[in-house]
Structure 1
């Protein structure tokens, strides 16, 4: 057998043996580069693409064009604790929904119970901040105490906002006229100019927008409370992994007092007459 092996190897041309040796040498010479590329791919999975919208003071783009706001700051802390890097993408609401549905972004700093995203996202168990939806009206207009009062009125909404599905209900009412404003400040100005009887908008951004002395005529009545959350795209294979990582990181930070205490999600406030299907 030994003689047969010697005869076999002696039959291989020296040029082939030389080529084989060269290939082996090149493999070991460039192996560190291949390993580095693998490590780069692993590191790339630590980058999380985050959608955020204009929702001051929770999330907004500041004068430098950078993401800012209370929810943004909390998310940065949570991601760092969980070992992830963030890539923020500023988007209008409608495009945010699309990017979550097709997996262009990994998550959105949004609100729970968004009907349009029911089958497209995993919501975090943690809700860092409550958000109040209010009806804003001028002095001299009756405060909104029941949803029936909106019938026969003109209601101002923010363009692109679904209000947890409430927009659809309003648009389906034959005796409620819906008009739109492009942003929160414009909406307040429309209300003051009597281009609508009520403005439905979230408390935090409207209070941020009330900066002019004449804004004192704008009054508020609470409609419902909603909860912020991280909404993870189900189009991403990492959705459940990211949710667990973010929730666990938040618990650790809360125990150290570095983020708000963990909130118990109880039944939220809803004004009488609010459509049952959108509560």
Structure 2
């Protein structure tokens, strides 16, 4: 009887050890730079409040964090094929929901969308209809606002980054660009673009809440409830509000 008990304890211990070893210990973060929320510091290290949110989430989940820098389209592909586990700030669409599991609760509400035109451009862009004769610079793969995204009348010129859209605007290759209000304000005031672009009067509301997305093919998918529990705790204890408020105050 003692031998049987010892054997059962050994089997249970071995099973528990194997399960612990099977659980992934690294969280692969598909990292598309999105200043000021996801960027790189002067040493080339990932920085910004969205980055810090994921760092804290990984800490609470007892996972090491590995960054996978990539443009948006490549990051989405990495999530789709299981090479990355998590993204932050990417918008939910029916197509993306096939391979991205958007976590609840949202960590923030999105802000407004701004338009920029060249300095000295006298055209008044204050109504949505003012966009129709123009070429609008957009970022490839980004979903902006339902009306704008579905409007086949809008002529779009897609680039890989917001910075490339600003450069096209300055060079006269597009008439106007659309971007997140806070990110565009930061870029417009940068050394490269200050005095060369001006904000148009038109603003669009962006109704999408911001969520973290876990890849449906991620080996961490069974831990979804734990991710959501940790996220809820970060909202409840003010961690997320503190990180986001610091950045918003800095760029005002």
* TM, length-normalised to structure 1: 0.68
Which residue matches 1:273? none
Larger deviation: 227-236 or 112-121? 112-121
Contact 1:106 1:232 in 2 (8 A): yes
Structure 1 spans left out of the alignment, 5+ residues: 1-33, 262-279
Instruction: Find the aligned partners of 1:219 and 1:150 in 2 and give their Cα distance.
Output: 11
Indicate yes or no: 2:100 matched with 1:121.
yes
Count of aligned positions: 222
Which residue matches 2:238? 257
- Write out aligned runs for 1:39-188 (5 A): 41-42=21-22, 45-129=24-108, 130-138=110-118, 140-146=122-128, 148-163=129-144, 169-170=150-151, 172-173=152-153, 176-188=154-166
Instruction: Find the aligned partners of 2:51 and 2:167 in 1 and give their Cα distance.
Output: 28
Instruction: Find the aligned partners of 2:146 and 2:222 in 1 and give their Cα distance.
Output: 25
SS in 2 for 1:111: coil
SS in 2 for 1:231: strand
SS in 1 for 2:28: strand
RMSD: 3.0
* TM, length-normalised to structure 2: 0.74
Indicate yes or no: 2:225 matched with 1:247.
no
Instruction: Find the aligned partners of 2:140 and 2:98 in 1 and give their Cα distance.
Output: 23
Instruction: Find the aligned partners of 2:216 and 2:36 in 1 and give their Cα distance.
Output: 27
Contact 2:101 2:216 in 1 (8 A): yes
Output one character per residue of 1:198-237: Cα deviation in whole Å (capped at 9) or x when no partner: 2112223222212244146333532232332111111125
Instruction: Find the aligned partners of 1:183 and 1:230 in 2 and give their Cα distance.
Output: 21
More contact order relative to length (CA 8 Å, sep ≥ 6):
2
Structure 2 spans left out of the alignment, 5+ residues: 1-13, 243-252
Contact 2:105 2:211 in 1 (8 A): yes
Larger Rg: 1
Which residue matches 1:19? none
Contact 2:50 2:88 in 1 (8 A): yes
Output one character per residue of 1:24-57: Cα deviation in whole Å (capped at 9) or x when no partner: xxxxxxxxxx99x848724x61311110102011
Distance 1:134 1:121, change over 3 A: same
Indicate yes or no: 2:177 matched with 1:196.
no
